[in-house]
């Protein structure tokens, strides 16, 4: 298996694992911040959509008009690293999930044809945790699983049974 396909397999596994947990929460509960929590499902899912785009597409190639239609700049800003979950407005749970799914579909459609030699190049936007485009792809599922754990914790705080 090529290193690109290995990275994509890990990205896809992490996304399927996270999605299973997120969609098990009714959309009406996605914006609930439970006592003792600082986040909600909607922010976690929106953040992962934004992060997958930035790690797997924006660091490998320039932003396109199709990208703006896929995930608008305003969406990226609302769910960025410094964004506050309380500030999430203007999107429904269903809209956030649609972007989450669409970004992942684009990654899985576009990247299998990405040139292997380009994986060793520096990413288009620097990141302190990796120095190559392959590093961005390898980091994506690690980052996703951090937030998947948060989704799982939020599910439990909302009263849902664990998913194994």
Question: Does residue 7 lie within any of the structural domains?
Answer: yes
Would you state the pLDDT for residue 104?
99
Would you state the pLDDT for residue 53?
99
Instruction: Choose among 61, 51, 68: nearest CA to 110.
Output: 61
Split into its structural domains, the chain has a count of 1
Question: Does residue 163 lie within any of the structural domains?
Answer: no
Q: What is the CATH number of the domain that holds 7?
A: 1.20.120.450
Would you state the pLDDT for residue 107?
99
CA 81 distance to own-chain centroid: 12
Would you state the pLDDT for residue 85?
86
Residues of the chain with pLDDT below 50 are none
Would you state the pLDDT for residue 88?
73
Q: What is the pTM of this model?
A: 0.96
Would you state the pLDDT for residue 89?
80
Note down the domain range covering 23. 3-157
Instruction: Choose among 148, 158, 136, 141: nearest CA to 45.
Output: 148
Question: Does residue 143 lie within any of the structural domains?
Answer: yes
Question: Does residue 122 lie within any of the structural domains?
Answer: yes
Question: Does residue 162 lie within any of the structural domains?
Answer: no
């Amino acid at each position: 298996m090529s290193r690109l396909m290995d990275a994509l397999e890990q990205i896809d596994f992490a996304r399927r694992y996270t999605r299973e947990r997120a969609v098990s929460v009714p959309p009406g509960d996605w914006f609930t911040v439970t006592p003792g929590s600082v986040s909600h499902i909607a922010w976690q899912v929106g953040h992962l959509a934004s992060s997958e785009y930035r790690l797997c597409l924006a660091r490998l190639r320039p932003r396109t008009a199709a990208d703006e239609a896929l995930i608008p700049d305003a969406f990226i800003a609302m769910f960025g690293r410094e964004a506050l979950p309380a500030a999430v407005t203007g999107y429904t749970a269903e809209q956030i999930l649609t972007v989450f799914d669409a970004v992942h579909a684009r990654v899985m459609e576009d990247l299998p044809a990405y040139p292997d030699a380009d994986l060793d190049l520096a990413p288009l936007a620097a990141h302190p945790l990796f120095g190559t485009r392959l590093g961005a792809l390898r980091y994506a599922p690690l980052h996703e699983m951090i937030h998947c754990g948060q989704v799982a914790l939020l599910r439990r705080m909302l009263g849902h049974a664990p998913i194994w």
